[in-house]
Structure 1
Amino acid sequence: MTKATAKKSKATTKKKTAGKKPTTGKAKRVKAQAEKTEAKAATVSLENPTIYELLNQVAGEHGYTVAKAIVSEELTDEEIAKRTGIRLNLVRRILYDLYDNRVVSYRRVRDENSGWYIYYWKVDPERALAYVRANRQLLLQKLEEQLEREKNTIYFSCSNGCPKVALEEAAENDFKCPRCKGKLEPYDNSAIITSLERRIQTLREQLTQS
C-alpha cells in the first residue's frame, strides 16, 4: 500500500467515524422513557372492563364508540362523526366529557387559510388509567373513614326505619328517635362493617393490579 493510499484510507475511516453520533446519557433516558410509555399504553385496552365502565359512566352509551375511533390515530370531531355515524354535536359533547375526565387529549393546529384552530383528538391511555386510579384511591379513603366510624361508634335506631343515631345523640334525646320519637334500641351494624371490609379489600386489590 502506497503512502498516499494509506493516507486516503485513514481519512475515509475518520470521516465515517465522525458521522456516527455517540449515544448520550440523555438520549438513552429519552428512548427508555418512550419505550416505557409505549409499553404502559399497550397494557391499557378499551376492552378492559374498568376502562369500558369508565367510558360509559363518563360519556354514556356512545362513549366507547367515540373512544375506539381515536384509539390508534388522531381525528377531528368531524372525522369522528363521519366514521361513527354519531351526530357532530353529540361527538363534541362526548369529547369534552372525556377530556374533562382525562380520558382523551387533543392537539391544536391553526388553519393557515381560515385562521381557525383545528383540534385533533386521541385517546390517552395513561391519563385514563391515572383517572381510574385516582378515583379508586379517593373512594378507598372514604370507605376506610366510614369503616372506622362504624367500628368505633355505638349506634341506636327505632323500629320505624329512621336513620340510626350515635350513642351521644341517643342519650341527649332520652333514647327516643329524633324524628318519630319512637324508642331507640341498640343497632347491629356488623353487616355494614362486613360489606365495607369487602369493598375495601376489592379496591386495594384493584389498585395493586393497576
Structure 2
Amino acid sequence: MNLTIDPAHIAFDVDGVVADTMALFVRLARERYGLAHLTKDDIRQYDLYRCLDVKKEIIDDLICLTLDDHHTLETPPMPAAPDVLTDLAQHGTLRFVTARIWPDSILLWLRKTLGNVDPDRIQVIATGAPEIKLRILRELGIRYFLEDRWETCALLAREGIQPILFDQPWNRTPHAEAFPRVSSWLELRRWFLLPENGMG
C-alpha cells in the first residue's frame, strides 16, 4: 500500500525510525559485555527481556546507557533520514513524538543530525509512554505517523490516525500486516506531495 502524504500532516517517532537506537544498543552490548554475537536481527520483539538471552541486569544497564544524554548524541541516524527530513523541513515544521521521558537530549541530537534545518523548525514532544502518543497527535492535528512499534500503530489506526510502519526486525509479525510498511527513508520519500515527486 502506497500513500500520498502532505508533509504538513505527518509526525515521526524517533527511536527505531529516525535514530538507529538499536544499532547503538548492540554496539554497547559488544563493547561493555563482550556480546559479540548480538545483532539487530536478534531483536525480534519490542520487549528486549523476552527476545534476548541476556541477564535482566545487563539489559537494564544497556537500556540506561543507550538512552542517557551522552550516548544519545552518539546514536547513528537511519540511512537517508537526515536528507529526507532536511528536504521536508522546507515545507514546514518537523514534528517528532517520542515515548522517551525527557525531550532535551533528543532535541540536541536532532539539531546536530539535521544541521541544515532551522532549529525553530524542529519540534520534539516526549510523552513518557507510547500510549500517550495518540492524544498528542490529535492535539497537533496529525493524520499520519511514522512508527516502528506495531502495537502503537494498531492503537492509532483504531482511532483514525494512519500509521506507517518503519520496517524493523521487531515488527515483522502477522499482527502488523494491516499497516503500510516502508523499509527505508528513500522509499518513504516517494510518498510525499513534493515537486520533485511530480506532486505538490
TM-score under structure 1 normalisation? 0.23
Q: Which has the higher contact order (CA 8 A, sep 6+)?
A: 2
- Hey, which of these two has a bigger chunk of helix by percent? 1
